[in-house]
Amino acid sequence: MKRKDLLGLRDVSRDEILEILETASRFREVSKRRIKKVPTLRGRTVVTLFFENSTRTKVSFDLAAKRLSADGVHISAGTSAVKKGETLMDTARNIDAMAPDLVIMRHSCAGAPHMLARNFDFSVINAGDGINEHPTQALLDMLTMQDHLGDLEGKTVAIVGDVYHSRVARSNLYGLRTMGARVLLAGPGTMCRPEMAGPGVEVRHKIDEVLEEADVVMMLRIQRERLPRAMLPTSREYAHLYGLDSAKLARASDRVLVMHPGPINRGVELSPEVADGERSVIMEQVTNGVAVRMALLFLLLGGSDDASA
Ligand code: NCD
């Protein structure tokens, strides 16, 4: 892969996506070993710079870096000098002065990782920027879909919930479009807007209208932190109209895959029996996340050719 950064899937080609997913498939084996480490990125420095909370994404990147033998350092906004009023540019200049090879960034402002990528020589991976993109999540989602469905061309993926404020949905929309999948969106009008429709993307609103045709149902959390209070429905009302429970799932194909990027609000967008049920591949998504992030660190930093040596 020839790029310096991974900021979003909007401009990533089908061949690049396939290369990332293939590399990730090869790296999966490392996490199954007793000694989960290869020397591929020995001596390379990876910094995770997080201005928003995270459990899965942070741990997943940390483990990916460690399993490739890179040196990883974590900076979280809550404990950094950002709290003392330092600007993002100054924080980045200081990190740059310590010679990192790659910075993984999460920020509440769309475009923050792009600013870093433009101004510095180190590689940047976007780990979520506001409502814009979260490319590594969409890649691990696509790897999980591919494991079960093979080629994604012509497959139907329903994305349900707060689609508009979801960077996970946006990256999936771009990636799935590139892979030739068909996307059906459903959710309340304020969270699933008609203008999101486009080539290969249909907006349907009601969950029942997307379930029957779906090979995959991706459920999303309401992004409460990104919504004005007045726009928030009550949890009960939301669960009734847009949540997925066993009764609604019965309308879908019995081979449908249920996905969720986490964190799940149990009883709101997903009932516990569906979240933990036999159609759920949510834990596979988490496992695949480590492999996808190993692949990206490897491809962006140009590790040795033998990926799993
Ligand atoms: C998502 C995020 O932060 O965008 N979580 C994740 O990275 N797996 C989704 C969310 O917060 O709802």
Residue 305 has pLDDT above 60, yes or no: no
Task: For residues 130 and 107, give the distance between their C-alpha atoms in angstroms, rounded to a whole number.
Answer: 6
Average pLDDT value for residue range 18-33: 97
Q: Is residue 266 classed as helix, strand or coil in its secondary structure?
A: strand
Q: Which among 244, 254, 192, 25 is positioned nearest to 183, based on CA atoms? A: 192
The amino acid at 2? K
- CATH 3.30.720.200 assigned to domain 135-281? The reply is no
Return the pLDDT at 227. Answer: 84
Nearest residue by C-alpha to atom 11 in ligand 1: 263
Q: Do domains 14-133+286-301 and 135-281 have the same CATH topology?
A: yes
14 Cα distance to chain centroid: 17
Dist. CA 88 → ligand 1 center (Å)? 22
- Tell which atom from ligand 1 comes closest to the C-alpha of 223: 12
Q: pLDDT band at 76, cuts 50/70/90?
A: confident
Convert the pLDDT of each residue in 92-124 to its tens digit: 999 999 999 999 999 999 999 999 999 999 999
Contact 199, 171 (CB under 8 A): no
The residue written with tokens 């020995």 in the block is: 42
Residue whose CA is closest, atom 8 of ligand 1? Answer: 261
**What whole-number percentage of the chain has pLDDT above 70?**
98
Q: Count CB neighbours of 286 within 10 A.
A: 16
Taking the model in full, what pTM does it have? Answer: 0.96
Eight-class DSSP state of 1: -
Which residue from 57, 141, 163, 286 has its CB within 8 A of the most atoms of ligand 1, so it is best to mutate? Answer: 57
CA distance 289 to 168: 13
The chain-wide mean pLDDT, for the chain, equals 94
Delimit the domains of the chain by residue range. Answer: 14-133+286-301, 135-281
Q: How many residues can be counted in the chain? A: 309
Euclidean distance between CA atoms 177 and 170, whole angstroms? 11
Query: Does the C-beta of 107 come closer than 6 Å to ligand 1?
Result: no
Q: What CATH class does 14-133+286-301 carry?
A: alpha beta
39/101 Cα distance (integer angstroms): 16
**Which tokens go with 86?**
């330092």
